[in-house]
Amino acid sequence: MLARTTLWLNVVIIRMSVVLAGLLIAAFGANSAFWIAVPIVTMLGVILSLGGIGSQILMQSLVEEDVRGRVSSLWGMIAFGGVAFGGLVVGVAASGFGLQLTVIVTGLLCSAAALIPRYGTKRNMGH
């Protein structure tokens, strides 16, 4: 889908993919049936791929050429370091509150954080 054309891709699409991913994570946490979990995880994989690859494409196309390498490095550091730090936080929370509740709450927090509006942008980046 992303290889064909990216004319439809913008920050709103990425934001909505994060919102949907959070809701799917919460749904996965609230679920206890394997036959329901499989399509949830399948949809989650597609949405996370769309958001991850789409954000990389947007970053590469919107960032000025002279700082693109630095921004790419920062993006990679946040993307990979954030997963490690998030795993630590979720692990601590799960040990205190239980895994199911932690997964549901973190999914909802992910969706809520993606809905926070951005202020003070210098230029319209597709939204």
3-state secondary structure 92-117: HHHHHHCHHHHHHHHHHHHHHHHCCC
Q: What is the extent of the structural domain holding 66?
A: 11-114
State which amino acid sits at residue 49: S
CA distance 120 to 21: 26
Tens digits of per-residue pLDDT, 35-80?
999 999 999 999 999 888 888 888 888 888 898 889 889 988 988 8
Residue with tokens 């239980």: 98
For a pLDDT cut of 90, what percent of the chain falls above it?
Answer: 51
In a domain, 44, yes or no: yes
Tens digits of per-residue pLDDT, 89-127?
999 999 999 999 999 999 999 999 999 876 545 554 444
Number of domains the chain is built from:
1
In a domain, 108, yes or no: yes
pTM of the shown model: 0.81
In a domain, 125, yes or no: no
